[in-house]
């Protein structure tokens, strides 16, 4: 199948590589070609614009930074949504507010495109292995059309409702994780006076009821960060975490709900960003909390 991939960040690149290993003809587009160069070196084709990407593909997947990026890629002068999109399958995998997916679905319907939202749970490793979890929103016929492709990328595909529902489920899945980063820093502040080796502390937490899957996967990286070693690469930056937490709070408010723990988490993430951590890896959050965030006034 001829598949286009718009957005070649860490996850977009991992998904593109997964599709290529399965025999699909993959064409990629990114705002900056340099970030896509490793994929081009691996034999994938390049599209100069999103519209050109659409012309070269039977289906296009997008995994973009934020809602503004969706506007640019879908609705811009050379965007995906033009009369040429009629009949094409568009699978949108970004994490954005649910209302944004509903808006984009209306634009897609106006030009006759099949639009499916499918934000995913999982990181680069599962993406390369086809072990993501898809939270899908959209019309049943369009989802049925997208499912064979999603099945190649995901170990589990959940169609949870109409457009916007997939994002709502993704935000709900991510919420405990966001709050956990804050509670991890607080837990570490309790044991800090013991003077234990960071790796030992993380191992103990990961092997206990206080250790979610995230800690088991990222524990080594967190322990290194606590020991003063900077991560080799940024996996998820604080700016992205703040964006997602804001979306959680906005969605809750739209339904008249309160998320007090999530609100406090965002306030602390904002404090960390104010200390220059916005572009830092998430593993730096507990380091910052121990250094200054959790100190009593």
Give the model confidence (pLDDT) of 206-224 as tens digits.
999 878 888 888 899 999 9
- Rounded (5°) CA angle 221-234-99: 115
Q: Provide the token pair at 192.
A: 């800090």
Q: Are 68 and 22 in contact (CB under 8 A)?
A: no
CATH class assigned to 168-293: mainly alpha
Every domain range in the chain assigned CATH 1.10.1040.10: 168-293
Instruction: Encode pLDDT of 178-195 as tens digits.
Output: 999 999 999 999 999 999
Return the pLDDT at 107: 97
Instruction: Encode pLDDT of 153-181 as tens digits.
Output: 999 999 999 999 999 999 999 999 999 99
**For residue 295, what pLDDT band results from cuts at 50, 70 and 90?**
confident
CA distance 64 to 242: 16
**For residue 296, what pLDDT band results from cuts at 50, 70 and 90?**
low
Q: Is domain 2-162 classified as CATH 3.30.300.130?
A: no
User: Percentage of the chain surpassing pLDDT 90?
Assistant: 91
Q: Provide the token pair at 142.
A: 């369009």
User: Percentage of the chain surpassing pLDDT 70?
Assistant: 99
Q: Are 16 and 39 in contact (CB under 8 A)?
A: yes
Q: Where are the beta strands (DSSP E) in the chain?
A: 2-6, 25-29, 45-46, 59-62, 89-92, 114-117, 120-121, 132-137, 154-161
User: Could you identify the residue written with the tokens 């949504």?
Assistant: 81
Q: Which residues are catalytic?
A: 170
105: how many CB neighbours lie within 10 A of its CB? Answer: 23
Return the pLDDT at 265: 97
Residue 240 has pLDDT above 90, yes or no: yes
């Amino acid at each position: 199948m001829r598949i286009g991939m718009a957005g070649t960040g860490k996850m977009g690149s991992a998904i593109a590589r997964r599709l290529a290993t399965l025999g699909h003809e993959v064409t990629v587009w990114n705002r900056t070609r340099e970030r896509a160069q490793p994929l081009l070196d691996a034999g994938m084709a390049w599209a100069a614009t999103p519209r050109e990407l659409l012309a070269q593909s039977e289906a296009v997947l997008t995994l973009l930074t934020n809602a503004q990026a969706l506007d640019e890629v879908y609705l811009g002068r050379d965007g995906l949504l033009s009369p040429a999109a009629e009949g094409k399958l568009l699978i949108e995998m970004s994490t954005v507010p649910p209302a944004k997916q509903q808006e984009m679905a209306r634009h897609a319907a106006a030009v006759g495109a099949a639009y499916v939202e499918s934000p995913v749970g999982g990181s680069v490793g599962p993406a390369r292995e086809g072990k993501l979890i898809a939270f899908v929103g959209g019309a049943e016929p369009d989802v049925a059309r997208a499912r064979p492709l999603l099945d190649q990328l995901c170990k589990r595909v959940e169609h949870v409702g109409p457009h916007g529902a997939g994002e709502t489920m993704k935000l709900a899945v991510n919420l405990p994780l966001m709050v956990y980063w804050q509670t991890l820093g607080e837990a570490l502040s309790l044991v800090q006076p013991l003077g234990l080796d960071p790796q030992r502390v993380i191992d103990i937490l990961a092997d206990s009821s206080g250790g979610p899957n995230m800690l088991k996967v990222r524990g080594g990286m967190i322990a290194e960060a606590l020991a003063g070693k900077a991560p080799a690469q940024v996996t998820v930056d604080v700016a992205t975490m703040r964006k997602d937490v804001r979306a959680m709070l906005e969605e809750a408010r739209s339904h008249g709900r309160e998320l007090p723990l999530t609100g406090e988490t965002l306030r602390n993430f904002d404090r960390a960003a104010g200390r220059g951590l916005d572009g830092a890896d998430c593993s730096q959050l507990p380091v910052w909390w121990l250094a200054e965030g959790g100190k009593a006034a």
